[in-house]
Chain A
Amino acid sequence: QVQLQESGPGLVKPSETLSLTCTVSGVSINSHRHYWSWIRQPPGKGLEWIGYIYSSGTTYYNPSLKSRVAISIDTSKDQFSLKVSSVNAADTAVYYCSRVVGSTSSFELWGQGTLVTVSS
C-alpha cells in the first residue's frame, strides 16, 4: 500500500536550516492526479500548511513562510524534501508530509510525522 515516511534531524539549532525528506513507497511520486505537501503542527496547536509541490517541480507556499521555505522533488527516488531556513523556537513542531488529491485539494494520506525541536 502507499506509505509516506518523514526523515531528518530531530534537533536543529536556532538560525540554522531545518531539512526533512519524505520517502513515498507503494506508488510513483510522478503522478498527475496528486501533489505532495508539507504540514506542521506546533505542540498543542493546530495544523499549519507549509506548501506543496507538483511532480513537475511547481511549488506553492504559505505566504507567511514563503521567504524561508523551499520544497523540492526527486522523482527518480520517489522523494520530496523541505528546507526551512533561519529557524527559531517557533518552528518547533511535528512535521508531516502528505499526498494531496489534485481534484479536491484534500490531504488524503499522511506520514506518521516527525518532531523537530529548535534549540541550542
Chain B
Amino acid sequence: SYVLTQPPSVSVAPGKTATITCGGDNIGSKSVHWYQQKPGQAPVLVVYDDNDRPSGIPERFSGSNSGNTATLTITRVEAGDEADYSCQVWESATDYVVFGGGTKLTVL
C-alpha cells in the first residue's frame, strides 16, 4: 500500500517561514492536499491540488510537489497557525485515499 511520511513535529518562530514535508514514492505524479487541524476541531483543507488554496485561506499558505516530496510552506507564521498538518493523496491504482501521519507545528 502507498505510504506518506511526515515529520512528527516542526517548530518555527513567529514571523518566520515553516516548511512541512510529505514523502511518498513518486508523489510528484499525484495531486497532494493539505489539512490543518487544531485541537478538538475538525480538519480544514488549506491547500489542494499541490498548490491551490480554497476560498478564505490566506496566501501565506502554499504548496509544492516534485519527485518524492511534497511541501507545505507557511510564510510569516502566526501563533494561530499552531496546529497539526496532514497531507493526503488519492492512490488511483487501488482507488484508495491515503493520509500522512501528521506534523505538529509549534510556534515558539
Complexed CA–CA distance, A114 and B101 (Å): 20
> B88 contacts which of A60, A62, A63, A107 (Cβ < 8 Å)?
A107
Q: Given A104-B31, A106-B33, A110-B43 in contact, is the A46-B49 Cβ separation under 8 Å?
A: no
Chain A residues near B101 (CB-CB < 8 A) = 46
Contact flags B87-100 to A (C-beta < 8 A → 1, else 0): 01010001111111
Question: Nearest Cβ in chain B — how far from A55, in angstroms?
Answer: 17
Binding site for B on A (CB under 8 A): 37, 39, 46-49, 52, 60, 62-63, 96, 101, 104-108, 110-113
Chain A residues near B98 (CB-CB < 8 A) = 49
Using C-beta atoms within 8 Å of the partner chain, give the interface range for chain B.
20 to 34
Residue B45 interfacial (CB < 8 Å): yes
Q: Given A101-B48, A106-B48 in contact, is the A46-B42 Cβ separation under 8 Å?
A: no
Binding site for A on B (CB under 8 A): 1, 31, 33, 35, 41-45, 48-49, 54, 86, 88, 90, 94-102
Whether A63 lies near B1 (C-beta < 8 A) is: yes
Whether A105 lies near B42 (C-beta < 8 A) is: no
| Nearest neighbor of A105 in chain B, beta-carbon distance | B90
Q: Given A96-B42, A111-B42 in contact, is the A106-B102 Cβ separation under 8 Å?
A: no
> B54 contacts which of A47, A108, A110 (Cβ < 8 Å)?
A108
Question: Nearest Cβ in chain A — how far from B49, in angstroms?
Answer: 5
Can you spell out 30 A-B residue pairs with CB atoms less than 8 angstroms apart? A46-B86, A46-B99, A46-B100, A46-B101, A47-B35, A47-B43, A47-B86, A48-B99, A49-B98, A49-B99, A52-B97, A62-B96, A62-B97, A96-B42, A104-B33, A105-B33, A105-B97, A106-B31, A107-B33, A107-B35, A107-B43, A107-B45, A107-B88, A108-B45, A108-B48, A108-B54, A110-B43, A110-B44, A112-B42, A113-B42
